[in-house]
Chains A and B, each alone.
Chain A
Amino acid sequence: MEEKELIDRFKKGEEGVFFRFLDMYEKTVYTISLRIMGNSEDALDASQETWFKIYRNLKNFREESTLKTWIYRIAVNTSLTELKRKRRSNTLPLDEAVLKSLPVDYSELEEALLNLPEKYRVAVTLRDIYGYPYEEIKTLMHISLSSAKILVHRGRKKLKGKLEGYEFEEVEEWS
């Protein structure tokens, strides 16, 4: 069944269709939240909050973008809000559940990414994994354009360094 038809059915009050959206995007939403939040406990809360927002706002979805893009955006925004709300002095260590489910061939990289300090993890995730332009990263992270570029670059270097076994110095800006 086409996505548009599912959206129309949901808009007409057929709430059971919501499960179809969960089938389609549950993993995507959880993965975005995990990469932004950096641990499964916070990712669970952020991704569930994302689904509340999707449920509440789907009836007003104007289809100006694809549903996938719209859901991505809600997941990113919600996770960033949750990240600020739950900001911790130290990033939680990666839990067993995540370590066990790291993707084959990418486990080292994903672990290094999830262990980056949050400002770098968020910047690199948005730019290099989800392809957000710097302008949008600037807006989402409430930083200047040059800071967005610096965070992405330093994040990449830190990531490459972690994979090669060396570390780089920190930068300060991240509101």
Chain B
Amino acid sequence: MELDYAIVAYLKGELGTLACQKVKNLINTNDHFARKAAEWKHALTKLDGLKEKEYSVPSGYRELLMKRLAEKKVNHSIIGALAVIPVLLVGLGVFLLKRKNAA
């Protein structure tokens, strides 16, 4: 297993018991491993901190969203209305057929 991969997996708690113990021993007994582990720990902690950071939306975001939402609603209404046409045609066909048979 690659050194960095092993150290990161150890720090993230992704290793099995045996591998975890091996990496832990190496970090505790070897300066190079200890330095690498410290570097990765710092990087991962920092990365984890990004979870709390959020960006403000650009100006005019809501206005644009409401405009697009209204457009989509209109489109859906049109599609809904168009979907009724075949049903009406079938209904009309059945009605005319019944009238013809009755005559």
Contact = CB atoms under 8 A, between A and B. Distances in A.
Interface in B83-98: none
Chain A, interface size category, equals 20 to 34
Interface residues of B, number: 26
A9 interface: no
Given A51-B65, A52-B72, A157-B4, A129 B57 contact: no
Contacts of B40: 160
A26 B61 CA distance: 10
B31 interface: no
B22 interface: no
A44 B58 contact: yes
Interface in A95-111: 97-98, 101, 103, 106, 109-110
B47 A22 contact: no
B49 interface: yes
A28 interface: yes
B10 to A, nearest CB: 13
Contact of B47 (A26, A28, A109, A153): A109
B62 A27 contact: no
B28 interface: no
Contact of A106 (B49, B62, B68): B49
Interface string B49-92: 11101111110011011001100100000000000000000000
Interface of B: 4-5, 8, 39-40, 43-44, 46-51, 53-58, 61-62, 64-65, 68-69, 72
